[in-house]
Structure 1
Amino acid sequence: MYNLLIVDDEKEIREGLSAIPWPTMRVNLMGSAKHGLDALKFISEHPIDIVLTDIRMPFMDGIELLNTLARQHPYIRVVILSGHSDFGYAQQAVANGAFDYLLKPTQFDVLLKTFERLVRKLDEEKQEELRKSALLRKEKLLSKRLREEFLSELFKCGMSVEDIELGCSESEIILDGPDYTVAAVRLDRISLNKQVLPDRELKLITFSLDNILCDMWDANGKAYHLVNKENAEVCLLSMKASPKSDFIQLKQQLSSFRGLFKSTLSIGIGKSARHATDIWRSARSAKQLLDNTEEEDSARVYTEALQHEAPGHATSEPLTSAIHIKDNKKDRTIVHEAKQFIKQNFHQSITLKQIANEVHVTPGHLSALFRESGETYIQYLTTMRVNKAIELLGDIRYKIYEIAESVGYSDHTYFSEIFKKYMGKTPTEYREASDRTEGRIQP
């Protein structure tokens, strides 16, 4: 059923239209209004899908109401009621977005056919929205999985600068801290007392931990977490210069969930790293602190002086002694095809691996070809997305989170950070600016 509001300044017409058996058309009559302003007030208090409105009314006529609804409630469909003398206005209204117009006096069979078409249209739009919602949920699940895989690798081993940049983009993570510090949190009854939990209980605990930390840790900014699904141990990443108090405070907050976890918690705070490539070293030192203590409900901080360790080196492809003859024309074709694929799919969550599969090369080789062309794969993809976002920001019907989703970002906060990095303003600031002389980014 779709909710209907009737708008007409003549009481007899309002009553006559209200007497129509709307439920037979899968329409639920919510009420009536005397003019446009009265209708807007009603709509602000009730969910409305369809407005059936006269044109000539006091205070705010049907054309003004149509234009206002297009700006404030673009999802509402409008059907115009008009007399023969208002026919020109009715045509203008349809050109401006009205679904249809009906001539007074309205014949029931004409009205029935109009609303049958409208209900079919709304059904189709609802199905499309459901399809988009399902795709968005799928993209968010993919983004979460990519984030977990990237953080797992980041905490476990050294990664190259290029691999970190790629991982950040695909998992929608920003690593821009002055320092990087990892803390390890354990549930003592599992990790210390070696208590084996039933699979169902372990899944409940890890699911709960993940959701709690999204709210208590990640939402505060400059922070990420990873929950180990096998033993409920947690790695917390902070990008603040002095994060110790934040870690201790979080441990205290988590302790309030002792009844859920049925365990005390211990935390080890690792040594800070100056570069993202050394985050794994901070994670290792945090884990070592916990492994070296059997005290329950403890908080240990790494206080030793930083050792002068050589930074980890990683490469995206193994070294080989084979001699390769460069085929510049073929390489340019591969990059061109990859860019075409990105242009057609940048609104989705796409990875370097997917693109490489499309052009039949390895991800490492495609990444190298992009760099040789003068820009990285991430730079090209982000440029496409930001330029499309700039275009959509000019249309006030779209909310910021809707624009983020439509250009391939499931996390609108991450989208805002990326947009500001490229344009110097957040999407909201850019939209509110009186002039948009910044223009598009040149790919």
Structure 2
Amino acid sequence: MGARQEKYKVLLVDDEPIILRSLKVAIPWEELGLTIAGEARNGEAALRLIEEHSPHIVISDIRMPVIDGIALMKEVLPRSAKLLFIFISGYGEFEYARDALRLGAFDYLLKPIDHDELTEMLTRARLKLDRQKENEQLMHSVQMLSILARERMFTEFTLGNPRPLQHLKWLENSELEREYFMAVVRLDDYAALTAKWSAEEKHLWLFAIRNILEEWSLENGALSIFPFYNGEWVLLFPGSLSTVKKELGERLVADIKRYSKLHCSVGISRSTQGIDQLSTVYPLAAKALYQRFYSGQAGVFIEEETPEESVREVQYPKELELSLIESIRTLNMERMLVLFDEMASFIESQSLPKELAQRIIIELVVVLYRQFEQLNMQAEWSLEGLLGKLQGLGTLSSVINVLKEDFRSWMQEGSKQVTREDGRSVVDKAKRYIEENYHKDLSIEEVAEVADLSISHFCTLFKQVSGYTFLEFVTYYRMEKAKYILLNSSVKVYQVAPLVGYQDPRYFTQVFKKATGKTPTEFREQYTQQANEGYK
């Protein structure tokens, strides 16, 4: 190993314990510079472990109940683009494995597992991870940071949180210590798009736009690109390109439309220096972008330069924003209205000029609207309509009154869909769907789409409300149906499996025995014996 860096983390995913045990003992993990971060028996558990441990490599069976390997990869890769997936597949699943490679898997191997072949594969994966890391360290540049570290750093600075990664001392000499400017790219009519997209389509579209932007950035001299909100990305450009801001923006809009057929608008800030200024230029670029809401026209909007003395810096009321978000998340209307009054008091106490007050209010409105989006509560409401309405008002009190009125009606309308009890109704709806379709090849993607939630959000909500994980409930319901069939019919044991959603009778027997302590045959024989004894 020599002077190698810390070990890379590996997650093992397979529903057969014997395979998990053999992988743990047969692969020279220590020698490869790898460590097993966790094990999962199904894709649902793997999803939680990935979020918890952030592994570098996932070795997974390609076919599993509820969330299969490809569905797991498609859920995770948009957020963890450098995660390497190695799939294990049967000979009859070759086409499936080829699809996995096409969708971004690192490699696959066939059962029975050749441990030497897997070791060689892991050596190549380790080499790829090392190469990525070495490149980032050698270049000492912002755009070569790992995707996760770069996004976390830029997001924290853009939100105004100081020095989030103090240990990266070399950032003091990064490109952002020289002059740069920011462009904020936002998909037009994003709420309308997400209303018609399924959860899977949303992930795929955002992933596709991200890829387009990354390639575009490399070709057009951008320093970096990172997502900031859903449907919104931030690009940073060197100051040397400041004379062609308009052309850059127009080219970007045209290329997004050309490659994705989607429309976007771009807001571009003034030039600045220093990574600490990200939180200053973001609202300036966003403010330029909001002109799109007023004009009703998509396109490129550049912040108008103003004399320095007329620009007064003010601390954004972050705590107030977080409290408002919490009031929306908990559907606490009374608290929300009080907080809007506190917002008015804050602006008055600072004696802010209209331009700065408007900037803070616009930022706040967009953030809160996005909270409604996250809860799937925005329905047919129009962010553009509200911002346009605010633009025409002349006094702070009238602005606050419109905000209170619109957000009150939004919450009342949204509460019909997402009340505190609505989490239970969403889960009940999912349960009914499971009960009607338990005998089919049921996937969590399918049921999450019925619930109109992302897979990760649905997993969390289902567990919170029902007390079961999704897989636990599906298994429980299938086992109850299997017991009923065994006790009330003469259907042969091997024929029960497909009746309750299992195509493999052997796997069905394993699951049944784990749930009841008996094989299906033993379970039926015991009941028959007890029934016979009862007649004596």
Q: Is the pair's TM-score, using the shorter chain for normalization, greater than 0.5?
A: no
TM-score, length-scaled by structure 2: 0.34
Q: When the two structures are superposed, what TM-score results if normalisation uses the length of structure 1?
A: 0.40
- The structure with the greater share of residues assigned to helix is 2
